[in-house]
Amino acid sequence: MWESNQKTLNSEISFSGIGLHSGVNVDVTLIPANSNSGITFKRTDLEKNNEIIANFKNVSSAKLCTKIENDFGASVSTIEHLMAAFYICGVDNLVVNLNGPEVPIMDGSAKDFVKIIKNCGLKTLEGKRKFIKIKKKVELKEDDKSININPTTNNFEVKFTLNYKKSPLIQNQKNSTNFQKKNLEEIYVARTFCLYEDIEAIKSIGLAKGGSLDNAVVVQGNKILNEGGLRSKKEFVNHKILDLAGDFMLSGARVIGSVECIHGGHALTNEFLKKIFSDKNNYDIVENESSSSKVRKILPIHKRLAVNA
Q: Give the nearer residue to Zn ion in terms of CB position, either 85 or 295.
A: 85
Q: Which of residues 179-198 bind Zn ion (CB under 5 A)?
A: 192
In DSSP notation, 162-202 reads EEETT-TTTEEEEEEEETTSS--HHHHTPPPEEEGGGHHHH
* CA–CA gap between residue 259 and residue 256 (Å, rounded): 10
Q: How far apart are CA 58 and CA 42, in angstroms?
A: 14
What angle do the packed helices 111-120 and 80-89 form, to 10 degrees?
40
**Residues contacting Zn ion: total by CB under 5 A:** 2
Type and span of the H or E element at 115: helix 111-120
The answer to whether 157 contacts Zn ion (rule: CB under 5 A) is no
Shortest Å, Cβ 81 to Zn ion: 6
Q: Is the Cβ of residue 175 or residue 192 nearer to Zn ion in the bound state? A: 192
Residue 243 CB, nearest approach to Zn ion (Å): 4
Torsion of CA 225, 82, 205, 55, to 10 degrees: 150
Closest CA to 23 of 209, 205, 215, 201: 209
Rounded least distance, CB 239 to Zn ion, Å: 6
Conformational region of residue 137, where left means phi above 0, alpha means psi within -120 to 50, and beta covers everything else: beta
Q: Which is nearer to Zn ion, 187 or 276 (CB)?
A: 187
Considering only residues 221 to 260 of the shown chain, the ones binding Zn ion according to CB under 5 A are 243
Between 186 and 284, CB nearer to Zn ion = 186
Smallest gap from residue 191 Cβ to Zn ion (A): 8
Residue 260 near residue 266, CB atoms below 8 Å: no
Nearest-angstrom CA–CA distance, 118 and 183: 13
Residues marked as catalytic: 266
Q: Which is nearer to Zn ion, 219 or 256 (CB)?
A: 219
| Dihedral class, residue 75 (left if φ above 0, else alpha if ψ from -120 to 50, else beta) | beta
Give per-residue burial for 283-295: e unless 16+ CB within 10 Å, then b. Answer: bbbbbbeeeeeeb
Please say which residue, 177 or 192, places its beta carbon nearer to Zn ion: 192
3-state secondary structure of 139: strand
Minimum distance from residue 71 beta carbon to Zn ion (Å): 26
**Which residues contribute to the site for Zn ion (CB under 5 A)?**
192, 243
